[in-house]
Homo-oligomer: A and B are copies of this chain.
């Protein structure tokens, strides 16, 4: 027979608030050992303290409750550790994003809005090898970083010669709405129909307003704004997806300050 604790006792022992314990019961994360049917009183067993501690630790790390449930239900230590590792990876990514957000803020406040030069350019259709995805704005960053590497590997594996800089084509909806198509491509002279997860793609011809941006990708929105205002001033409506050309990018150097990106707004 195991000792049963009231919710108040269990709260004092685990340092989880009574409201929180009731919430965890409601959502099925931590069910009391027994509940008195007549009174509704919850009774916790002493062996539940360990689970409570695990939950507390994971919630301190802002792991979603559904994921916490999965950790508690993990069949063995290696499955559990895999779930934890995934979450710690996510946290590491967030930290990286926060660091670049701080840098972008500093940049915005300190760097004078340089007069951004805008050039008009007409480009012909161009054969390329590409990877596509329909993503949300939140997913775009992760997709962009990983796909860039995958694409280069696919081009290398197919023994193709790159005939121009890596580029991307992005639906407007990716910025204004919740979902849109994204494409990353590498120009090659004679692309096969498919190469691994990549496939042949023809970058369409277009008239573009182009501005060049130097530095990490996080502050690129300032260049977008300058371009967008320029185009709007010309009363030209939206005429298709925007493009980016990575003249110097993540595949070339880890020094983000050395990155050179062309932003292209269709006319």
Contacts and interface: CB of A to CB of B under 8 A. Distances in A.
A98 interface: yes
Given A13-B229, A175-B12, A57 B222 contact: no
Nearest to A265: B12
Contact of A221 (B15, B221, B224, B238): B15
Interface stretch (A2-10, A156-164, A247-255): A2-10
Interface stretch (A102-110, A127-135, A144-152): A102-110
A176 B18 CA distance: 6
A105 B221 contact: no
B228 A105 contact: no
Interface residues of A, number: 47
B137 A177 contact: no
Nearest to A237: B9
Contacts of A97: 60
Contact of A225 (B3, B13, B105): B13
A232 interface: yes
Given A12-B228, A15-B175, A60-B97, 18 more contacts: A9-B238, A11-B176, A13-B229, A14-B221, A14-B225, A15-B221, A17-B137, A17-B175, A17-B176, A18-B177, A46-B229, A46-B233, A53-B108, A53-B225, A57-B104, A60-B105, A61-B98, A61-B105
Given A101-B60, A101-B61, A105-B58, A232 B13 contact: yes
B222 A53 contact: yes
Chain A interface mostly: helix
A194 interface: no
A88 interface: yes
A241 B102 CA distance: 42
Interface string A41-65: 0000010010001101110110000
Contact of A108 (B57, B172, B177, B229): B57
Nearest to A221: B15
Given A53-B222, A228-B9, A228-B13, A102 B177 contact: no
A178 interface: yes
A91 interface: yes
A5 B232 CA distance: 8
Interface string A215-255: 00000011011001100110000100000000000000000
Interface in A100-129: 101-102, 104-105, 108-109
Contacts of A15: 175, 221, 224
A90 to B, nearest CB: 12
